[in-house]
Amino acid sequence: MYINCMPWTKSFPDRTEFENDCKQRGESLRGLTYREAIREALTQVLEEDSNVFIMGEGVDDAGGVFGTTKDLHKRFGRSRVIDIPVAENAMTGVAIGAAITGMRPVFIHMRMDFLPMSMDQIVNHAAKWSYTFGGTVKIPLTIRSIIGRGWGSASQHSQSLQALFMHVPGLRVAMPSTPYDVKGLLISSIKGNTPVIFIEHRWLYEHVGYVPEDMYTVPFGKGVVRRSGRDITLVGISYMMFESLKAQEVLQKQGVSVEVIDLRTLTPLDEDLILKSVKKTGRLIVADTGWKNCGVAAEIASRVSEKAFKYLKAPIVRIALPEAPTPASIALEKEFYPDYNDIVAGVKGLMKG
């Protein structure tokens, strides 16, 4: 499934350039940036359902959470686009209470680093209440959180903590990489009846891709093959999907056929898609935005080892962050964060083996 006419290794900061590229391919498609796709999703669900509201620090600021909530308070009022105090755990409790009563809150944390302040509410309450009460209580709560690097964000403003939430039963975890998927998955999250940790990478906000104007949903637990290949399976998480596609182009020129998988959601995980690909290629690399130790890549590697070991021609490789806090220095950031060069090196190592 390939739902975009854009070359995946190229970012289109200019929508006109994207649409011209589509026309050259004989397609007439509307392009939106990742941030615009989020804002359009929020606008449409706010219009459709009066039970939906947004809450978060700075949601009504001029910047509007990197542009994703810009001016929504002017359109829907501050009773539905609510700026909140710096009290993460307490406000998460408010959001859960609203969800229990039938509202559909979208709680925005501009940086994932501060979600641990809300872990008691998320892990012990939001994730558990439906189970505790035999399914009679629904928690339609969407928690948007932002990861990513840049600007010297360092150890407390750039962490990718998705593995923490993937570990907790009762939570769904989404990490869309394209404008199409971010709109569709956000709408699915808000319309659903279970709590969702919805994770966006700030380096994706300027990517432009095809996004239909109508409201649509993307299902949880269904990954997609972005590139088909026969020699090695490469699973890219969030922004690392784009680095995986860059690596795929480099390796294709060298005669290595790489299959690139975009999971889109981590919980539920499209295990069948991964296993099917590994059974075909016999090799697996997982590229994640988080740390290697007990991370998403470790979970995927474990499942493949348990269920497709006999098909493996080489050890599974994990491309992830080194076991150290994030540095602030730009020079050190370049060494700290893996990119497509690390993926290419990993693939070459497996092919030699």
Residue 207 is among the residues annotated as catalytic for this protein: no
Please state, in angstroms and rounded to a whole number, the distance separating the CA atoms of residues 4 and 156: 34
Q: Report yes or no: 52 and 45 within 8 Å, Cβ to Cβ.
A: yes
**How many helices (H) and strands (E) are present in the chain, helices listed first?**
13, 14
The single-letter code of the amino acid at 103 is M
Q: Does 323 qualify as catalytic in the annotation?
A: no
In terms of Cα–Cα distance, which of 33, 38, 37 is closest to 19? Answer: 33
Q: Could you tell me if 145 and 111 are in contact, meaning their C-beta atoms sit under 8 angstroms apart?
A: yes
d(CA 193, CA 202): 27
Catalytic residue selected from 88, 200, 243, 259 = 88
Task: Catalytic residue, from 125, 157, 201, 207: name it.
Answer: 157
Q: Are 144 and 106 in contact (CB under 8 A)?
A: yes
Which two three-digit tokens encode residue 73?
Answer: 């308070």
Between the CA of residue 146 and those of 47, 158, 259, what are the distances in Å?
A: 24, 8, 28
Residue 281: strand, helix, or coil = helix
- Candidates 348, 207, 335, 192; CA nearest to 285 is 348
List, by residue number, the catalytic residues: 88, 157
